[in-house]
Structure 1
Amino acid sequence: MEIDLRLLKQKFPNFEKRMLKDMLSYGMIKEIPGGTEVIRFGQYMKMLPIVLDGVVKVYSQYEDKEFLLYYIQSSESCIMSLSAVLNDTPSRVFAVTGTDSTIMMFPSKMVKKWIKDFGAFNNLFYHLYDKRYNDLIETLNQVLFEKLDKRLYDYLIEKSKVSGLNEIKITHKQIAEEVGTAREVVSRILKKLETNNQIEQGKGYVKLLN
């Protein structure tokens, strides 16, 4: 992807021209294949990623279990990574590209400067924080008050929205890891959804029918 001021202005229309020029000067462009780890759990964040194109999945980790927290899409970044950058603390999450992605990486010292100097940069993360907080509340409501079959179906709908496709390339094991349950439970629920004509499934894919 060719990165210039015009493209950055399209991605970040509220950013000042001086901010966009700084992004071009200090940013490092990375074209990253899907399924690649871009943030390691426990790493110190020397660079802050901002997604220009593609999707990145952010997970929490406890012992040997993983739980999908949220997706980072175009013109977004990771608020947990920003926290690690600003506080010079290890990352409490890890992130993996969900599709082939174009990501700009910015030095932590510049991020700290931009937070002070540019209101629009601050606002970007304020809105992301608000969005992630609402995502968290929704996830808690699902875990506490909704049956797992509805939560899993909602998860498939959200994944379809993110990818823009009804057919999702994913295994039962991957779904189990992202939803936070056992593979056998996922297989049973997917079979029920298939019987109800809500999905079609095969080796390595699930397709939404409704």
Structure 2
Amino acid sequence: MTSETEIFKVLDFISEKALREEILEYCQVLTFQKGETIVREGEYVKVLPIVLSGHIRVFQAKEDREILLYYVDPSQTCMMSLSACFYNNQSPSQAVAVSETKILAIPTRYITQWQKKYNSWNNFVIKTFRNRYDELLETFESVAFDHIDKRVMEYLNHRKEKEDTSIIKLSHQQLAYELGTTRVVISRILKQFEMDGILKLHRAEIELL
């Protein structure tokens, strides 16, 4: 069970006492295991997830390919879900737990109410849209202009930093899905990186040196 102290240690930007009381009364803390879906693409969003611990991967899937949009870390929420909540739209993306992840589940009816009532919540919403817009722009520029080998290395370093380990549990096919390319291309790049002494390849694992 997650205590009140633990919740507001993460959500320290919530300054109003009345808002804290409403959060404790109306919201739930939910736990998702690694790989579990938190928000499903094409479904209506009933609660806004704010991460308390762990990480969420947000992506879009088309046919047999995926494109990573961004990660959601503790004290953050998903812009795609937030937008869907505002306009009562279906989610345009999928959100999956990267590891065991706890979220604060906020019923959608409170999102706009709190924006009008509480300055700290309004600032949080605005900051979420601004920061995620910047991240999505970086993703677009990376896909459009960066060479795939650079994107592979950036992705692996990002995973290393997030998971605090140099051994990334990931198959060539999974990495291809993440970056929206093919397994053949990924295998060729990883083999070249291994020959250059940048990493070592193991079965369904990549070890960064």
TM-score, reference length from structure 1? 0.94
Displacement of 1:203 after TM fit?
Answer: 0.9
What is the match of residue 18 of structure 1?
A: 18
What is the match of residue 92 of structure 1?
A: 92
| Change over 3 Å in CA distance of 1:28–1:9 after alignment to 2 | closer
Question: Structure 2 CA distance, aligned partners of 1:127 and 1:54?
Answer: 21
Contact 2:2/2:29 (8 A) holds in 1: no
What is the match of residue 178 of structure 2?
A: 178
Contact 2:65/2:181 (8 A) holds in 1: no
What is the match of residue 71 of structure 2?
A: 71
- Structure 1: which amino acid aligns with 2:95? A
Per the alignment, in what secondary structure is the counterpart of residue 45 of structure 2?
coil
Could you tell which deviates more after superposition, 60-69 or 73-82? 60-69
- Structure 2: which amino acid aligns with 1:172? H
- Structure 1: which amino acid aligns with 2:23? M
Q: Equivalences for 1:27-46 in 2 at 5 Å?
A: 27-46=27-46
Displacement of 1:86 after TM fit?
Answer: 0.9
Displacement of 1:120 after TM fit?
Answer: 1.1
Question: Structure 2 CA distance, aligned partners of 1:167 and 1:20?
Answer: 39
Q: Equivalences for 1:131-150 in 2 at 5 Å?
A: 131-150=131-150
Displacement of 1:93 after TM fit?
Answer: 0.6
- Which runs of 5 or more residues in structure 1 are unaligned? none
Question: Structure 1 CA distance, aligned partners of 2:149 and 2:134?
Answer: 22
* CA shift digits 1:5-35 (9 cap, x unpaired): x223211222122212211111111111000
Contact 1:59/1:93 (8 A) holds in 2: yes
Displacement of 1:85 after TM fit?
Answer: 0.6
Deviating above 3 A after TM superposition, structure 1's stretches of 4 or more consecutive aligned residues are none
What is the match of residue 83 of structure 1?
A: 83
Q: Equivalences for 1:110-189 in 2 at 5 Å?
A: 110-189=110-189
- Structure 1: which amino acid aligns with 2:78? C
Contact 1:8/1:20 (8 A) holds in 2: no
Question: Structure 1 CA distance, aligned partners of 2:106 and 2:149?
Answer: 40
Per the alignment, in what secondary structure is the counterpart of residue 76 of structure 1?
coil
Per the alignment, in what secondary structure is the counterpart of residue 103 of structure 2?
strand
- Structure 1: which amino acid aligns with 2:87? N
* CA shift digits 1:119-165 (9 cap, x unpaired): 21121222222222221222222222221111111111111122122
Per the alignment, in what secondary structure is the counterpart of residue 77 of structure 1?
coil
Displacement of 1:64 after TM fit?
Answer: 3.8
| Change over 3 Å in CA distance of 1:68–1:122 after alignment to 2 | same
| Change over 3 Å in CA distance of 1:79–1:182 after alignment to 2 | same
Question: Structure 2 CA distance, aligned partners of 1:89 and 1:141?
Answer: 27
- Which runs of 5 or more residues in structure 2 are unaligned? none
- Identity fraction in percent: 34
Question: Structure 2 CA distance, aligned partners of 1:201 and 1:131?
Answer: 34
Could you tell which deviates more after superposition, 134-143 or 38-47? 134-143
Per the alignment, in what secondary structure is the counterpart of residue 129 of structure 1?
helix
Q: Equivalences for 1:195-210 in 2 at 5 Å?
A: 195-209=195-209
- Structure 2: which amino acid aligns with 1:46? K
- Structure 2: which amino acid aligns with 1:66? E
- Structure 2: which amino acid aligns with 1:11? V
- Structure 2: which amino acid aligns with 1:155? Y
